[in-house]
Amino acid sequence: MTTINTEFETELINSGVACSHAFRDAVNEAGIVAITDVQGRILEVNDNFCHISGYTREELIGQNHRILRSTEHTTEFFRDMYRTIARGLTWHGEICNQAKDGTLYWVDTTIVPMYNNQGKLDGYLALRIDISEQKWIVQHLERLAHHDPLTGLPNRASILNSIQNTINRKTGNHFALLFIDIDRFKLINDSLGHELGDKLLQEISHRLRKAVRVSDSIQAARLGGDEFVVLLDNLASPQDATLVADRLMETFSQPYELCGHTIYSEASIGIVTSEHFSETASEMISSADLAMYEAKAAKMGSPVVFDHVLRDKAQKRLYIENQLRDVISRDELTLFYQPIVELESGALKGVEVLIRWFHPETGLIYPAEFIPTAEEIGMIIPIGNFVIDAACRQFGEWRKSLGEHAPANLHVNVSRKQLEHPTLVAVVEQAIQNYAIPPECLHLEVTESIIMYDSQTSIQTLNQLNNLGVHIDVDDFGTGYSSLSCLCDFPIDVLKLDKEFIKKSKRSREVMLIQALIILADQLGLEVIAEGIETPEQLALLRKLGCKYGQGYFFSKPLSAEDLQLSILSPKSNSPQLARV
């Protein structure tokens, strides 16, 4: 055990500090003790002092205390300390010292002034306790509290703090916030496994750090999931943020080689600059997030900068979101029906059900404006169930009232959330039973990207629907990920060619593509319906290519149930296009 030597003990007693055995024992046990003169020159140290500092007693005696100073503290810190003890007061605080070999250690320090017999300040007694371990634990906990353990980047709390500081500074300097979201990350994570997903996030963080060279002016953080944020401070101009975002997009789009897989992934980036700054960090992040949302939706591969137009759009979306919640009980949803015809004869083959929302203040709202929001907030399930029930009821009534003139098939759109929901099959079964609809008359339209998204659940649900006898159409074919293998793996009956193909059917490459798809579908025993036929030329071409069915404004726009019924009963007056073919 280290002991306080006699000379040292005398000094302590003289100082009037050490007066009990208990104190001396405590000092011997853990205390690191030094006595200095008023200038800070070391007069005496104990063994613990030598041990922790790495110096011998001989090396220390006569040296100024500054020999142990690290760069962890400011001059201000030491000035305060000296001011206190010079006034004869006790100073207490935590000091980081530097040992002989350069390592740092933290000591809880009490410096007590010592007086000589004449009552004059004669020197100082410094008693220290090693707290390096506690400090390390605290630092580690702080690191955990402010950093994301997976990527080592600062976390949400940390970047919120930095952004708030930047806002509060109000120096007039330009700054910007980039909100980065990795495209299709969920798909990669689900299909290739979470371990690889984690590796991808680490690689993305690595590229992010390298590309922006983190400094006092540039900070990068992971908000969570596949979302990252970069704070750019002291910009020469706000426009510079776009240059950084462009560089990042380029960096992220390079292929990733991970565990033998080559992964292609891009990022969508939204920017908010100090020109549109808000009072709080989270509002700034929301603005950048909004811009990112816009960038992702635009699919243009370029960053979007937040502006007031975006804010208005977001407010409208929020309004729609709030209004959507009780849209069914307010009875504002209506179904329209677009005829699907046999291209050769012009005969009515079926109808596609298209939802419309008549809002008392906003007027007509198209599905593209509210279906994505309904999906986000979960309202798509009650809305989807409403569509299935109401459409089947109407279809059942037509079968009774129109007899052989009734449309033979009913096509209902189904979104991804509905396909994933465990009640879909039961809802469909109930509707076809309730309204006595032969199951083969009902077609559910799903987009190919929906099928590719979560193939296991989708396959199961589609198989169950198939077992009921219901048909499955792949909607907007050619716009999604176009994995032709899904045509073999899934129980599909119909391919609906996306209207974009038909629109571009003046170009010979598109014509070749349409032809190839019609031949492929024929070989696989699938029917083809061309969407978006608007002109007689398009119709003639599709007929020539052997496409059997189609829909589009050339025949009819989507009609209310009453108008459709009228056009069936008196085709010449109400639906000239239908009548002409």
d(CA 480, CA 249) in angstroms, rounded, equals 22
Residue 558: contacted member of Mg ion, ligand C2E, none (CB under 5 to 8 Å, by partner type): ligand C2E
Please report whether residue 130 would count as binding Mg ion according to CB under 5 A.
no
For the bound state, the minimum distance from the C-beta of residue 402 to ligand C2E, rounded and expressed in Å, comes to 22
Q: CA of 96: how far to CAs of 76, 113, 337, 541, in Å? A: 15, 21, 77, 83
Displacement of CA 231 from its chain's centroid (Å): 17
For the bound state, the minimum distance from the C-beta of residue 414 to ligand C2E, rounded and expressed in Å, comes to 6
Q: Which residues contact 373 (CB under 8 A, 6 or more apart)?
A: 317, 320, 321, 324, 379
For the bound state, the minimum distance from the C-beta of residue 445 to Mg ion, rounded and expressed in Å, comes to 4
Q: Which H or E run includes 231?
A: strand 227-235
Rg (CA), the chain: 37
CB nearer ligand C2E, residue 158 or residue 338: 338
Residue 368: contacted member of Mg ion, ligand C2E, none (CB under 5 to 8 Å, by partner type): ligand C2E
Residue 77: contacted member of Mg ion, ligand C2E, none (CB under 5 to 8 Å, by partner type): none
The answer for 415, left when phi > 0, alpha when psi is -120 to 50, beta otherwise, is beta
For the bound state, the minimum distance from the C-beta of residue 352 to ligand C2E, rounded and expressed in Å, comes to 6
Of these, 476, 565, 567, 575, which contacts Mg ion (CB under 5 A)? 476
Give residues in contact with ligand C2E (CB under 6 A). Answer: 338, 353-355, 366-368, 371, 384, 387, 413-415, 445, 475-476, 499, 531-534, 551-553, 558
For the bound state, the minimum distance from the C-beta of residue 145 to Mg ion, rounded and expressed in Å, comes to 49
- Say if strands 31-37 and 121-130 run parallel, antiparallel, or are unpaired: antiparallel
For the bound state, the minimum distance from the C-beta of residue 491 to ligand C2E, rounded and expressed in Å, comes to 19
Choose among 348, 345, 364, 346: nearest CA to 356.
364
Q: CA of 320: how far to CAs of 21, 249, 308, 336, 504, in Å? A: 78, 32, 18, 20, 33
CB nearer Mg ion, residue 107 or residue 517: 517
d(CA 218, CA 235) in angstroms, rounded, equals 10
Q: CA of 206: how far to CAs of 152, 155, 228, in Å? A: 10, 15, 12
CB nearer ligand C2E, residue 75 or residue 329: 329
For the bound state, the minimum distance from the C-beta of residue 440 to ligand C2E, rounded and expressed in Å, comes to 20
Residue nearest to ligand C2E (CB): 552
For the bound state, the minimum distance from the C-beta of residue 415 to ligand C2E, rounded and expressed in Å, comes to 4
The answer for 157, left when phi > 0, alpha when psi is -120 to 50, beta otherwise, is alpha
Residue 226: contacted member of ligand C2E, Mg ion, none (CB under 5 to 8 Å, by partner type): none
CB nearer ligand C2E, residue 478 or residue 552: 552
Q: Decide if 485 contacts 459 (C-beta within 8 A).
A: no
CB nearer ligand C2E, residue 163 or residue 414: 414
Residues in the chain: 581
CB nearer ligand C2E, residue 443 or residue 499: 499
For the bound state, the minimum distance from the C-beta of residue 562 to ligand C2E, rounded and expressed in Å, comes to 18
Q: Which H or E run includes 5?
A: none
CB nearer Mg ion, residue 448 or residue 475: 475
Longest dimension (CA), the chain: 123
For residues 357-416, which are near Mg ion according to CB under 5 A? 413
For the bound state, the minimum distance from the C-beta of residue 475 to ligand C2E, rounded and expressed in Å, comes to 5
Please report whether residue 445 would count as binding Mg ion according to CB under 5 A.
yes
For the bound state, the minimum distance from the C-beta of residue 410 to ligand C2E, rounded and expressed in Å, comes to 12
Residue 577: contacted member of Mg ion, ligand C2E, none (CB under 5 to 8 Å, by partner type): none
Residue 78: contacted member of ligand C2E, Mg ion, none (CB under 5 to 8 Å, by partner type): none
CB nearer ligand C2E, residue 127 or residue 374: 374
d(CA 479, CA 498) in angstroms, rounded, equals 7
Show the site string, 516-545: x = touches Mg ion by CB under 5 A, - = not. Answer: ---------------x--------------
Q: How far is the first Cα of the chain from the last one, in angstroms, to the nearest whole number?
A: 107
Please state, as a whole number, how many other Cβ atoms lie within 10 Å of the Cβ of residue 311.
14
Residue 177: contacted member of ligand C2E, Mg ion, none (CB under 5 to 8 Å, by partner type): none
Residue 367: contacted member of ligand C2E, Mg ion, none (CB under 5 to 8 Å, by partner type): ligand C2E
For the bound state, the minimum distance from the C-beta of residue 444 to Mg ion, rounded and expressed in Å, comes to 10
d(CA 493, CA 56) in angstroms, rounded, equals 88
Q: Which H or E run includes 198?
A: helix 194-212
d(CA 271, CA 290) in angstroms, rounded, equals 9
Residue 415: contacted member of ligand C2E, Mg ion, none (CB under 5 to 8 Å, by partner type): ligand C2E
CB nearer ligand C2E, residue 107 or residue 374: 374
DSSP code of 91?
Answer: E
Of these, 475, 494, 527, 528, which contacts Mg ion (CB under 5 A)? 475
Choose among 415, 477, 419, 472: nearest CA to 448.
477
Residue 386: contacted member of Mg ion, ligand C2E, none (CB under 5 to 8 Å, by partner type): none
40: its two tokens: 């800070």
For the bound state, the minimum distance from the C-beta of residue 154 to ligand C2E, rounded and expressed in Å, comes to 40
Number of residues lying near Mg ion (CB under 5 A): 5
CB nearer ligand C2E, residue 340 or residue 545: 340
Q: Decide if 22 contacts 28 (C-beta within 8 A).
A: no
d(CA 280, CA 492) in angstroms, rounded, equals 51
d(CA 275, CA 307) in angstroms, rounded, equals 9
- Binding-site ranges for Mg ion (CB under 5 A): 413, 445, 475-476, 531
